[in-house]
Amino acid sequence: MLRQLKQIYNIPTANFIGHGDIAPTRKTDPSILFPWKTLAQNGFGQWYNDTLANTPADFNYLMAFRIIGYDVHDSTAAIRAFKRHYMQDTARQLNLRDLSAIYDLMNKN
């Protein structure tokens, strides 16, 4: 069904996102168990590379969040939405792996 919708409506790969990604202050779905990576591997959404590069010293993760499509008005909500979608965890703090994944995703846009 997703393939058909993607083709009929010419939906870009990056536009397959969850409620929590588009409205991080109001929505918390889907959960950390949703198979985002599998969907991305099949052309529905983006995913970061398995091999991650270090981020530059001046890396601004909030600017990167904006580039990949997150509303950063509430940075805590944006972090939680990102971590729920891409890192499958509910921590409220970013670690080095998270920053590298954000950097990688930003460079795909």
Residues 63/17/19/77 CA torsion (nearest 10 deg): -20
Q: Confidence class of residue 95 from pLDDT cuts 50, 70 and 90?
A: very high
pLDDT in tens, 23-54: 999 998 999 999 999 999 999 999 999 999 89
Q: Hey, how many other C-beta atoms are within 10 angstroms of the C-beta on 22?
A: 13
Tokens of residue 28, six digits? 């918390």
Give Cβ neighbours of residue 38 (< 8 Å, ≥ 6 apart): none
Q: Confidence class of residue 15 from pLDDT cuts 50, 70 and 90?
A: very high
